[in-house]
Amino acid sequence: MAKMKQGNLFEEDHELNVIREKQRKLQEAHLEVVNLPAKLAKEKKDRDSTMPPMAEIKERQQINQFEQNLSRGQIENVLRTQRHSLAMMLLLATTTALMLFWAYRIIMA
């Protein structure tokens, strides 16, 4: 009977330790949630007060200026040039593949 009481005490101690550990974790999570708005506000303030690198600012200004100066005709010209370049690249790749196939057939013959 004494062993049974002692076993129950060990189990109760273990359960109590588990409950205390869970309570500690909940308190830590609660503190994180309570402090979250202040932490987010500080991070936003830091981001807002930090300037991007000068090279990035200059690049953004150039892109904005280019986009503002671009007309519809210029966009169509750029797209036409890109399509032409793509067609030429495909033609070159096809020609290269055919020449390699032709050379392979000559070597195997």
Contacts of 13 (CB under 8 A, 6+ apart): none
Nearest partner of 14 among 6, 90, 97, 51, judged by Cα: 6
Model pLDDT, residue 1: 47
Q: How is the chain split into domains, by residue range?
A: 1-49, 68-109
Model pLDDT, residue 103: 96
- For the segment 32-63, what is each residue's pLDDT rounded down to a tens digit? 888 888 888 888 888 778 776 777 888 888 88
- For the segment 57-106, what is each residue's pLDDT rounded down to a tens digit? 888 888 888 877 777 778 888 899 999 999 999 999 999 999 999 999 99
- The model's pTM is 0.36
For residue 47, give Cα distances in angstroms to 58, 61, 67: 19, 20, 27
Model pLDDT, residue 100: 97
